[in-house]
Amino acid sequence: MILLRPRTFITPSLFRRCYYSTVNDIALPKTRNIGIIAHIDAGKTTTTERMIYYSGRSKRIGNVDEGDTITDYLPSEKERGITIQSAAITIPWNENKINIIDTPGHADFTFEVIRSLRVLDGAITILDAVAGVEAQTEKVWKQSSNLNLPRIIYVNKMDRPGAGFSRTVKEVITKLETRVVLCNLPYFEISNDQEIEFKGVIDIIHGKLLKWKDDSDGKSIEVESLTPDQFEMFSKARESMVETLGEYDESIIDAFLETEDYKKIDSELLDQVIRKATIDNFITPVFCGSSFRNIGVQPLMDGIVKYLPSPLQSSIPEIKSKNKQIAKKMDSKGLIFNNDHNLTIGLTFKVMTHATRGPMAFVRVYSGKLSASSNIVNTRTGKKLLIRKLLIMHGDSPEEVKNVGAGNIAVIPGYDTEFRTGDTIVATNKKSIGALESSLKLMPIDIPPPLFTSSIEPHTAGDEAHMKKCLDILIREDPSLKVHVDEEMGQTVLSGMGELHLDIVRDRLINDMKAKANLREVAVAFKESFIKPPTKIVNEGLEITVSHVENCREYENVDGAHIYEDENNVIILSDSAASEFVKECLSERRWKCPKSIEDLKEAIINGCLTSLQMGGPNLGLTINSTLIQIDKWDAAVDKSEDLIPTLMQAGRTSIQQLKNDSNFAIFEPIMETKVHVNSADLGEVSHDLTQRCHAVIISVEDESNQNIEIANWSIEESEKIYLPPDYTLSSTKKRDLSNKKIIIAETPLKEMIGYLSKLRALTQGRATFDMNFIGMKRVVGTRIDSITKST
């Protein structure tokens, strides 16, 4: 006997979850868009592979160690056993459709997580039952919280020695600051050699024991009645569940008052309230299992379709237009913008190059229906494009479809350069797409700044063209990777999120794309920036003011502002800056200049931008955080020659005049670093941070008291909820918990390279840390000489 649906038990011979040929046509209420997020090595890909297998989508179970998984298909992923690129796959489950995105866990690939979360409706957070809530888990949890995504917790690796379900759940409450309901509990047996073995789960909704056979593929599940000891745990967990849900929905309290028995409350009512409370982010359902041992995955899949929202219940995305406010509403077919049922809007969240199908753009369709052989407009470029074919992806395998409706993920193949991450696409069945539709933009996807660099050189001059072509493909796929040319040194410089990120890029370039090139040792990305008070310069008809800027986004709504987020630079050229020139050109009500005013303005901007890209005066480093305000410009209108080269040169030479050592300084990336350490190691770790890492310690806080109100709430919540016996929880001494400290410091990124191994050595592996980029700050003191020598 196996459990298929709530309260429905069938024989194994009737257990058939085939892949429907009409899976793409499953209605929106039965569609789930979910992401798998977690710390590295928590078991994301292993769990995803089991879900694919049990859905009937695959006839075999892929394993990370054997390098034959469906979602980790890149050679680098198979070789290293880690996820590098997010992968999408569509599977059926109990007449529902689940669109899954498996995301990386390593911090170097955080952009893959950011852009995946942007288009999801819910997420599965996987935890290692031995390690508990780890640093990267807290980071991705916070990212998903910022997007208001409902989540389910899956405590994985319950078969490992040291696995602690109750300890992990307690950490979920205290560290992730969420209420939980336990949907199942782990079940153990004592083996013949007196070892504790994880065998299955106790289902709290239905009051049954689900057992998986040893060394099986996980499809054979035995459903048994509970023993007295198991029934006692079930009763306590059900009581705790009802009390938590009763705080959210009075129908639970009414149901209890009718029977005065927690165990007699209808399971369908419990499912309904858990679903509502999960979508409202009032609670987080918790499941457990061992994906590698094929235990506990099917109940998790049931939980996905029962508790996570459909696209009809997800948050409505922000959408902007230059012309007017956009009205938004949800109906049974998805989002409707401005009451136009024929308008299709989608967000391009990923671009990749497939081995056989070539370039592909992944699009989340938010409204309408995207169809093959139809026209769309990319609102960033304004270009009209024909969708020749339309695909949905199953890991590395594309499937051609006629259309993809709202709430689903489509793939548009065939365009090399027309799509970028964050592009909004629109389509309509009208003869033409109007100005309003062509200006629509869905909420942008933030791209974190690259912090590490490595120069790359072709083996020979003849290899350069292929190398640049390969780099163009990589940048298109991964916008967090940047490339610029150092004109003075004649070098091509790659910038990425971390050492592993650039190492993977090297592998793909040389091994996968067969580029003949050499990459130098990875280094931190230093910059140069203007440091003097606002300085005015007059040159060849231009009046320019140059100053330092902290945040380029402050100028988003400034007239004439051109923002270059990659380097936090701004160039402002408003229409009023050329009032006298325009007046002279229009003296006889006709434009005298052979070039348009827009062409001339663009020439000035390009000249200034070229000067910035040529690097600073100290070390020729990229210029960062600099504001150029063109206050006034003029040109001779009675000449017939092309003014564009003249204006470009004027813009370039104007900035070059300011380039001397006293006006510019070296800047470096600064990180907010949080080190979680025991009190006994506090002094040694603090000393190492300040002396060796040149850190500025901002504060030292008790881990349990970062926010007193939230800390008190989470402690009370963790004490209130029922947790089953757990030897790893009882062995954790209270004084150790109270003596956990958090060192919060600002650290130069250069000094944090290789810090993890040093921290482990100082604390015998007891401490952990995580970092977040704050911004670029000026290098001062004796560190200038050491940086100059190493750059």
List the one residue out of 776, 540, 791, 485 whose CA is nearest residue 655. 540
**Whole-angstrom Cα distance, residue 319 to residue 326?**
7
Tens of pLDDT, residues 352-392: 887 777 888 889 999 888 998 888 999 888 889 999 999 88
Residue 75 pLDDT level (bands cut at 50, 70, 90): low
Q: Mean of the pLDDT values across residues 318-330? A: 74
Does residue 447 sit within a domain?
Answer: no
Q: How far is CA 447 from CA 159, 338, 475, 617, 700, in A?
A: 38, 29, 12, 28, 31
2, part of any domain: no
Query: What is the pairing mode between strands 180-182 and 284-288?
Result: parallel
Which sign, positive or negative, has the C-alpha torsion 539, 544, 548, 551?
negative
User: Residue 47's closest CA among 275, 364, 287, 228?
Assistant: 287
pLDDT at 225 over 90: yes
Q: Say if residue 96 is in the same domain as residue 242.
A: yes
Residue 172 scores a pLDDT above 70: yes
Show the CA angle centred on residue 164, arms to residues 158 and 170, nearest 5°.
Answer: 125
Tokens of 577: 């800056």
**3-state DSSP call for residue 97?**
strand
User: Do 702 and 774 fall within a single domain?
Assistant: yes
Identify whether residues 133 and 109 lie together within a single domain: yes
Q: Measured between alpha carbons, how far is 480 from 85 in angstroms, rounded to an integer? A: 12
- Tell whether 646 and 730 lie within a shared domain: no
Range ranked top by mean pLDDT from 529-533, 603-607, 754-758: 529-533
Asked if residue 325 and residue 241 are part of one domain, the reply reads no
CB 198 within 8 A of CB 163: yes
The percent of the chain in helix, strand and coil, each rounded to the nearest 5, is 35, 30, 35
The CATH number that applies at residue 190 is 3.40.50.300
- Taking the alpha carbons at both ends of the chain, their separation in whole angstroms is 67
Q: Identify which has the larger pLDDT, 523 or 98.
A: 98
Confidence band, pLDDT 50/70/90 cuts, at residue 774:
confident
Kindly tell me the burial class for residue 457, based on how many C-beta atoms sit within 10 Å of its own C-beta (0-12, 13-18, 19 or more).
Answer: middle
Pairing of β 31-38 and β 122-128: parallel
Which residues lie closer than 8 Å to 374 by C-beta, 6 or more apart? 386, 387, 427
- HSE, side-chain direction, 13 A CA sphere, residue 126: 28
According to DSSP, the residues that pair with 519 across neighbouring strands are 456
Query: Is residue 158 scored above 90 in pLDDT?
Result: yes
Among 751, 741, 732, which Cα is nearest to 790's? 751
pLDDT of residue 707: 60
Structure tokens at 463: 């290899």
Token pair, residue 353, equals: 């190059």
In a domain, 8, yes or no: no
Confidence of residue 22 (pLDDT cuts 50, 70, 90): low
Residue 719 buriedness (CB in 10 A; 0-12 / 13-18 / 19+): exposed
4's enclosing H/E stretch is: strand 2-5
Token pair of 138 as six digits: 């807290």
Four-CA torsion 496, 501, 505, 511, nearest 10 degrees: 170
Is 479 within 8 Å of 111 (Cβ atoms)? yes
Q: Are 697 and 782 in contact (CB under 8 A)?
A: no
Instruction: List the structure tokens of 238.
Output: 């059900």
Residue 458: the pLDDT is: 86
Q: Check residue 731 and give left, alpha or beta (phi > 0: left; psi -120 to 50: alpha).
A: alpha
SS3 letters across 485-549: EECCCCEEEEEECCHHHHHHHHHHHHHHCCCCEEECCCEECCEEEECCCCEEEEECCEEEEEEEC
Last residue of a domain, one of 525, 545, 564: 525
Q: What's the average model confidence in pLDDT over 564-593?
A: 78
The CATH number that applies at residue 334 is 2.40.30.10
For residue 223, being part of any structural domain is answered with yes
Integer Cα distance of 665 and 667 in angstroms: 6
Looking at residue 11, what is its pLDDT?
33
Q: Please indicate, yes or no, if residue 5 is contained in any of the structural domains.
A: no
Note the pLDDT tens digit of each residue in 609-638.
888 888 888 888 888 899 999 888 877 655
For residue 404, CA distances in Å to 71, 365, 416 come to 21, 8, 22
Domain-ending residue, one of 465, 492, 525: 525
- pLDDT: is 744 or 143 the higher one? 744
Q: Where are the beta strands (DSSP E) in 122-168?
A: 122-128, 151-156
- Measuring CA to CA, which residue among 183, 203, 127, 193 is closest to residue 160? 127
Running DSSP on this structure, what letter comes out for residue 618? T
Residue 513 belongs to a domain with what CATH number? 3.30.70.870
pLDDT digits (tens, 9 = 90+) for 425-442: 998 877 677 777 778 888
Rounded-to-integer distance, Cα 270 and Cα 242, Å? 8
Instruction: Say how many C-beta atoms besides its own lie within 10 A of residue 260's C-beta.
Output: 7
Helices (H), 107-153: 110-117, 135-146
Which one has a higher pLDDT value, 178 or 565?
Answer: 178
**Cβ atoms 688, 695 nearer than 8 A:** no
What is residue 108's predicted lDDT score, i.e. its pLDDT? Answer: 65
Q: How many CB atoms lie within 10 A of CB 536?
A: 11
Q: Structure tokens of 506?
A: 């090297």
Question: Quick one: angle between helices 44-54 and 297-307, nearest 10?
Answer: 80
pLDDT per residue as tens digits for the range 648-699: 777 778 778 888 878 888 998 898 998 888 888 899 999 999 999 999 999 9
Instruction: Identify which of 140, 183, 186, 138 has the alpha carbon closest to the alpha carbon of residue 160.
Output: 186
The reply to whether 672 and 647 lie within a common domain is no
Domain annotation covers residue 287: yes
Find where tokens 């070892």 sit.
195
- Give pLDDT, residue 199: 93
Rounded to the nearest 10°, the torsion over CA 710, 712, 717, 720 is -170
Residues 490 and 537 in one domain: no
pLDDT at position 412 over 80: yes
Give mean pLDDT, residues 572-595.
74
pTM for the model: 0.75
pLDDT tens digit sequence for 483-536 = 877 665 567 888 887 777 888 888 888 888 888 888 877 778 888 899 999 988
Which tops the pLDDT comparison, 419 or 712? 419
pLDDT 10s digits, 459-484: 888 888 888 888 888 888 888 888 87
Beta strand spans in 26-165 (E): 31-38, 87-93, 96-102, 122-128, 151-156
Within a domain: residue 776?
Answer: yes
Query: Which residues share a beta bridge with 350?
Result: 362
For strand 96-102 and strand 87-93, is the pairing parallel, antiparallel, or unpaired? antiparallel
- Domain tally for the chain? 5
Q: How many Å is the maximal CA-CA distance in the chain?
A: 102
Three-point CA angle 388, 32, 234, nearest 5°: 160
State the residue range of the domain holding 717. 666-790
Helix (H) or strand (E) holding 713: helix 708-720
Residue with tokens 């791209």: 447
What DSSP designation does 448 have?
P
Q: Which residue type occupies 468?
A: K
Instruction: Give the CATH number for residue 739.
Output: 3.30.70.240
Residue at a domain's end among 631, 662, 693: 662
Packing angle, helices 250-259 and 267-279, rounded to 10: 160
Asked if residue 337 and residue 227 are part of one domain, the reply reads no
Residue 537 is part of a domain; what is its CATH number? 3.30.230
CA–CA gap between residue 422 and residue 404 (Å, rounded): 19
pLDDT band (50, 70, 90) for residue 329: confident
Return d(Cα 578, Cα 574) in angstroms, integer.
8
Q: Is residue 152 domain-shared with residue 254, that is, in the same domain?
A: yes
> Which residue is it, tokens 């336990």?
182
Which phi and psi (to 5°) does residue 129 adopt? Answer: -65, -20
**Of all residues in the chain, what percent carry a pLDDT higher than 90?**
25
DSSP letter, residue 764: T
Range from 65-79, 137-151, 340-354, 361-375 carrying the lowest mean pLDDT = 65-79
Provide mean pLDDT across the span 33-62.
84
Q: Tell me the Cα Rg of the chain.
A: 29
Query: What is the β-pairing status of strands 151-156 and 284-288?
Result: parallel
Q: Does residue 261 sit within a domain?
A: yes
268-307 pLDDT, tens digit each? 999 999 999 999 999 999 999 999 999 999 999 999 999 9
CA of residue 477 relative to chain centroid, distance: 14
Would you state the pLDDT for residue 735?
37
Share of the chain above pLDDT 70, in %: 86
Mean pLDDT score across all residues of the chain:
82
Same domain, 138 and 282: yes
Strands of the sheet containing 569-572, edge to edge, are 535-539, 542-548, 626-633, 569-572, 561-564
- Do 684 and 633 belong to one domain? no
Sign of the C-alpha dihedral computed for residues 490, 496, 499 and 505 taken in this order: negative
Kindly tell me the sign of the dihedral angle through the C-alpha atoms of 42, 46, 51, 57. Answer: positive
Q: How confident is the model at residue 165 (pLDDT cuts 50, 70, 90)?
A: very high
What pLDDT is stored for residue 357 in this prediction?
75
Same domain, 647 and 688: no
